[in-house]
Structure 1
Amino acid sequence: MTDGLATREVSAQPVGRLTVWQGAALYIGAVLGTGVIALPALAARAAGPASLLAWLALVLMSVPLAATFSALGARYPDGGGVSTYVRHAFGARAAAAVGWCFYFAVPAGAPAAGMFAGAYVTSALGGGQRTTTATAVALVIVVATANWFGVTVSGRLQLVLAVLLVTLLLTAVLAALPHAHVANLRPFAPHGWLAIGPAAALLVWSFAGWEAITHLAGDFRHPARDLPRATGIAVVVVGVLYLAVATAGVMVLGPAAGTTDAPLAELLALGIGGTVRVLAAAAAVLLTLGTMNAYFAGAARLGAALGRDGALPDWLARGSSVGEVPRRSLAVVTALSGLALVTTTAAGVGPSPLVLLTTGSFVTVYALGTAAALRLLPRGSLARRAAFLALVAVSALLVMTGWYLLWPLVLTVSALCYLRRRARADGRKAGKPGQGRVTPRQTGDVPGER
């Protein structure tokens, strides 16, 4: 389906209040996330210094992936994000499926991120599992409160967090740099070259997030202009920081890079000296706060859009328009996050299952989103070529995800069952059994398009 004149006009008009820098900060928070806290060590453990090739590969993959979602967000600035693009390309059922995959992945991923930060706080203050859980609860409350007052307040908070975060990470890397040794790169592939694949699979969590801000595209002042700029800034900042922290970890810590659970703390200890556990905990909390803030904002907006489009109950639709705050959807995300946190804490299983379930969902979202881009973006355009490269890369990620794709499959079946049940209920109300209400959004039409 091609764009209509109305779509281009909507994209060009000032419709929101987010600035380029606020949007870039939201992006940085969503993508940089909690991966930099522990995953450099996990990747080094899996592949040794060769894990740097996995980092480089995923940074390069981020360029076409981010460009694809940026191009889609600029053309279709709607709170539905990837769900909206999939609706235009493949219809209401596929849109509902991808919307459910994203919406219900956030309440699983947020508690996991909170527990990652909580482990650092526990290391600094003690208190065991109680401190870890209390930190996760506090983070959920903070980001829910920030988003309750609107995406503008959230964007300003994210800008402050991003500046503090970038400063802290650069300080850790630059301070530890005098202790780097080229000899620590040998042997480069102690576990063989094939170990780079498992290392890359571990790092998928670190690079999830390029789709999150598309749900806020309509909140930019000028989506068609500002969203690509914010994306470009974020790609450069995230790529540089990830590669810098990973490289410093390998070259400074040497074999110990794969044995420590807190590589950032180790870099700070070598570079600055003294007690750095509190600084490491502060970094962990800032990283996690930025990630959760961006995802709560995107998920809340998506839930309202899904309620508007009939893929979730109408009750959630309030707040789906630009400039409104989707508080009902935000309340659902917050409540489900709390439930997931209580369940995993009571079961004593830790954050690992939540991480794997979240990763499976986001890889599915990426696959459908990039496939939709190939149908929606103009033929021969640079954005469409980027979408093709992104789809190839995401296909490889699907293979590495394995059986954790069962969770998005369950969500897909649930979404389709909900649509069928709703269609029957609407048909009974209309006196025409089996025929449900179909809105312009569900058919993929945009007002004004023909």
Structure 2
Amino acid sequence: MTEAPAVHDVSAQSVGRLTVWQGAALYVGAVLGTGVIALPALAARAAGPASLLAWLGLVLLSVPLAVTFSALGARYPDGGGVSTYVRHAFGARAAAVVGWCFYFAVPAGSPAAGMFAGAYAATAFGGGRRTVALTAAALLILVAVANWFGLTVSGRLQLVLAVLLVTLLLAAVIAALPHAHLRNLHPFAPHGWTAIGSAAALLVWSFAGWEAITHLAADFRHPARDLPRAAALAVAVVGLLYLAVAVAGVLVLGPAAGTADAPLAELLALGIGGTVQVLAAAAALLLTLGTMNAYFAGAARLGAALGRDGALPAWLARGSDAGEVPRRSLAVVTGLSGLALAATTAADVGPQPLVLLTTGSFVTVYALGTAAALRLLPRGGLPHRCALLALVAVTLLLVMTGWYLLWSLVVTASALGYLRWRRTAGAPAS
């Protein structure tokens, strides 16, 4: 086994400008994303009340995943994130594969998230497909501008969004709880116990994000101290809110939980009364803005690191150092996201194809990242044990993801083809 490279002590020096609270807000934005808008209904449709077990399982899985990736980020604070860890563990080719999987998943996932929010806006204000597309485009532009001016602006924006979001979700759940009934738990597994696996596969979209903030590790003031604290805060907040919304949906909406297109709006309507489409649209926009902001920041930093390391064109490398803004990489992510949004809007296929393209890529990133952690983290410690547990769980998710992995296979072949082209052209890949 290859010996892990030496690790620089970064715990005592100020490297970047992100605080613990800003980092936790970025985590919450990355993980507590658009899944809470629509996926509670999809999971309930797949498994009934038993979908709550899928939610609980993925919340529990979040603990070892967050511990693993925050430990890696604290130990190797670099903009390459998971790509850097895989490079140290398995070499340049594997690092390029995981880097490409993450980098090119964001331009597919971000427009899909924007379209989810756009559907809520269309429900509230009308306009149909036009409102959906314009809302998604506006969100893409907003997060690109926020990140263009650097992580100080982006981190502060994320903190404000996270506080507003947590407040709104808790208000919806608390207001709806008087309408909860335990009889809505019966029958508990109307589609059989195996349906829990199908629900879990759907919910992977909701829990992707624990790896995203590792790309920003070097931008924390004290990565070794602050990153694990930010991850711990985020796990507690995300776990509480996801379970609260899922449980409230099942107990309050009953059989209608599987048919509600906007379960959050349904909870608000029952708890507050009256027309709440505008409030639900505001919640959807806040959720989506937070998710897209966090992923744009992480992907832009990753693209610059991949350019620096030779896994993408060197033109993207500008902005790869801590404290710099990777504007070229950000421009590529924004452009590709805009193209994906334009294509799906023109084809009138909705966000589902983009969701399917994204899911397999993130599961692949998790699998390679946790495998790298087993080689890099000190044996016997809590992070190493968490990495082993996470790898086993992610392997099960790979099986349940099925053919959704096709996109990550295409991206893998493209990454390896690019590296071969670089060698043929006389430019080393590492």
What TM-score range do you get, normalising by the shorter chain?
A: over 0.9
Question: What's 1:365 paired with?
Answer: 365
Question: What's 1:345 paired with?
Answer: 345
CA deviations on 1:145-199 (whole Å, 9 max, x unpaired) are 0000001110000000000000000000000011111111111111111111111
SS for the counterpart of 1:193 is coil
Question: What's 2:240 paired with?
Answer: 240
Contact 2:301 2:319 in 1 (8 A): yes
- Counterpart Cα distance in 2 of 1:215 and 1:55: 26
1:292 partnered with 2:283: no
Question: What's 2:326 paired with?
Answer: 326
Question: What's 1:432 paired with?
Answer: none
State the TM-score, normalized to the length of structure 1. 0.94
Question: What's 1:429 paired with?
Answer: none
| Residues 21, 263 of structure 1: alpha-carbon distance in 2 compared, 3 angstrom cutoff | same
Query: In the TM superposition, what is the alpha-carbon distance from 1:424 to its structure 2 partner?
Result: 2.2
- Counterpart Cα distance in 2 of 1:400 and 1:323: 39
Number of residue pairs the alignment of both structures matches: 429
Contact 1:364 1:398 in 2 (8 A): yes
CA deviations on 1:343-383 (whole Å, 9 max, x unpaired) are 11111111001001100000000000000000000111110
Give 5+ residue unaligned stretches, structure 2. none
Query: In the TM superposition, what is the alpha-carbon distance from 1:2 to its structure 2 partner?
Result: 4.4
CA deviations on 1:306-343 (whole Å, 9 max, x unpaired) are 00001111100000000000000000000000000011
Contact 1:12 1:223 in 2 (8 A): no
Question: What's 1:140 paired with?
Answer: 140
- Counterpart Cα distance in 2 of 1:376 and 1:12: 22
1:376 partnered with 2:376: yes
RMSD: 1.0
Query: In the TM superposition, what is the alpha-carbon distance from 1:414 to its structure 2 partner?
Result: 0.9
Question: What's 1:276 paired with?
Answer: 276
Of 132-141 and 180-189, deviating more is: 180-189
Query: In the TM superposition, what is the alpha-carbon distance from 1:420 to its structure 2 partner?
Result: 1.4
Give 5+ residue unaligned stretches, structure 1. 427-435, 443-450
- Counterpart Cα distance in 2 of 1:278 and 1:215: 35
| Residues 2, 17 of structure 1: alpha-carbon distance in 2 compared, 3 angstrom cutoff | farther
Contact 2:4 2:89 in 1 (8 A): no
State the TM-score, normalized to the length of structure 2. 0.98
Alignment of 1:384-423 (within 5 A): 384-423=384-423
- Counterpart Cα distance in 2 of 1:255 and 1:385: 40
Question: What's 2:214 paired with?
Answer: 214
Question: What's 1:82 paired with?
Answer: 82
CA deviations on 1:360-414 (whole Å, 9 max, x unpaired) are 0000000000000000001111100000000000001101111121111111111
The residue type paired with residue 69 of structure 2 is F
The residue type paired with residue 255 of structure 1 is P
Query: In the TM superposition, what is the alpha-carbon distance from 1:12 to its structure 2 partner?
Result: 4.2
Greater C-alpha radius of gyration: 1
- Counterpart Cα distance in 2 of 1:418 and 1:197: 36
Contact 1:37 1:262 in 2 (8 A): yes
Contact 1:11 1:76 in 2 (8 A): no
The match for 2:428 among 417, 437, 443 is: 437
Percentage of matched positions with identical amino acids: 83
Contact 1:11 1:77 in 2 (8 A): no
Question: What's 2:68 paired with?
Answer: 68
- Counterpart Cα distance in 2 of 1:424 and 1:406: 27
Of 410-419 and 240-249, deviating more is: 410-419
Question: What's 1:123 paired with?
Answer: 123
Contact 2:10 2:224 in 1 (8 A): no
- Counterpart Cα distance in 1 of 2:187 and 2:122: 35
Query: In the TM superposition, what is the alpha-carbon distance from 1:9 to its structure 2 partner?
Result: 1.7
Question: What's 1:303 paired with?
Answer: 303
Contact 2:5 2:88 in 1 (8 A): no
Question: What's 1:38 paired with?
Answer: 38
Question: What's 1:431 paired with?
Answer: none
